[in-house]
Amino acid sequence: MEQRCHAQVDKKECGLPQVRVESYRGFLYGCFDADAPSLEEYLGEFGWFLDTWMIGAGNGAELLGPPSKSILDCNWKVPAENFVGDAYHVGWTHAAALEVMGGELAELAGNRADMPFDDLGKQFTTRHGHGFGVIHNAATSIHTDRAAYDQFMADQLPKVTKNLGQERANLFNGHWNCTLFPNNSFLYGTNTFKVWHPRGPHQIEVWTWTLVHKDMDPELRKKIQKGAAFSFGTAGTLLADDGENMMTCTYSNRGALTRRGTLQSTMGMNHEGPHPDYPGIVGASFIGETSYRGFYRFYKEILKAEKWDAVRAKDDSWDSTFENRDFWVNNLNTA
């Protein structure tokens, strides 16, 4: 290396790498790739869904911090996949916690309740792997003491309908589990908002904020923040269940026998397609893997693409792997 005396050091050659920071509805995202699409282009049609609560009744939502931070010994894709669409783990993984929490969700423990799997919300996936599952009319269902929260949602709903229309008013009142590809997940209704920072292939650092509507009064926001810490905070009852799964999934997938297999992600396949009322691909039930397939489809696409231009070239054909194009045409009145 060339030797320089102190006066010859070029400070422009030093310092941290530049990061692009862009905002969507006041939520800030960073990206190190100068060639990547803008945040708005990257979110694409998913912004239509996010506007449900990022605009909502007018003032939208925000995060309460500072974020809590914790380490999990798992691959980043396990929690991203879990949040993007895993509805069917709840009765087993969270059986004990659901019993302790009580309320109407206690019936889900051990899958005792007779779940109407074919009529329980929907799943969505859009370009760039973003996706979520929604249970209709269940936004606040995780909260056992929720009268004030229910009243807030009821008061907001007419304004949301006026601002955004009936489809998104229905989503506003639903419970979402969501991942923005690659590593930002949230539970709308349960009020947890997370970033899964990879620290290598087998460890992540989890940052957790509380997601609230800006129009909530301070007392309700504080109550929700406390509830979110108990459920999905660093030592939260439900995150402890999920974290154990995330770590053991990562560990077991390193085993010789498991590595001989392939990823099974076919639940609800072909019970999905373009929908007249929503952008992207829509799966017929919350219990399914439509949003998983969207997540891994894009993961595979960017692993193979050498440059963003190769990704952009598929913007009009990305959803062709969802082959049942007429599913909703044939099932709109029955599904």
Residues of this chain that interact with Fe ion (CB under 5 A) are: 242
The residue among 47 and 243 lying less far from Fe ion, judged by its C-beta, is 243
- Looking at the Cβ atoms of 242 and 272, the one nearer to Fe ion is 242
In angstroms, give the least distance from the CB of 50 to Fe ion: 22
User: Which has the closest alpha carbon to 273: 281, 284, 264, 261?
Assistant: 281
> Do 269 and 95 touch, CB atoms closer than 8 A?
no
Largest Cα separation within the chain, whole Å, is 77
Indicate the residue whose CB is closest to Fe ion.
242
Nearer to Fe ion (CB atom), residue 62 or residue 242 = 242
- Beta-strand ranges (E) seen in the chain are 20-24, 27-31, 61-72, 122-125, 131-135, 175-180, 184-188, 192-198, 204-213, 272-274, 281-283
DSSP string, 232-296: HSTT-HHHHHHHHHHHHHHHHTTSHHHHTS-----TTTTSEEE-SSSSSEEES-SSS-HHHHHHH
The pair of structure tokens assigned to 253 is 């997938």
CA dihedral 211, 212, 218, 221 (to 10 degrees): -60
Pick between residue 95 and residue 302 the one whose CB is nearest to Fe ion: 95
For Fe ion, give the closer residue by CB, 39 or 178. Answer: 178
Q: How far is the CB of 177 from Fe ion (least distance, A)?
A: 8
Q: Can you state the angle between helices 77-85 and 237-252, rounded to 10 degrees?
A: 120
For residue 231, the minimal CB distance to Fe ion (Å) is 10
8 A C-beta contact, residue 137 and residue 185: no
Distance CA 308, CA 310 (A): 5
CB-nearer residue toward Fe ion: 81 or 242: 242
The CB-of-97 to Fe ion minimum distance in angstroms stands at: 9
Q: How far apart are CB 203 and Fe ion at their closest, in Å?
A: 20
Let me know if 209 is exposed, middle or buried by CB neighbors in 10 A (0-12, 13-18, 19+).
Answer: buried
Q: Which residue lies nearer to Fe ion by CB, 174 or 236?
A: 236
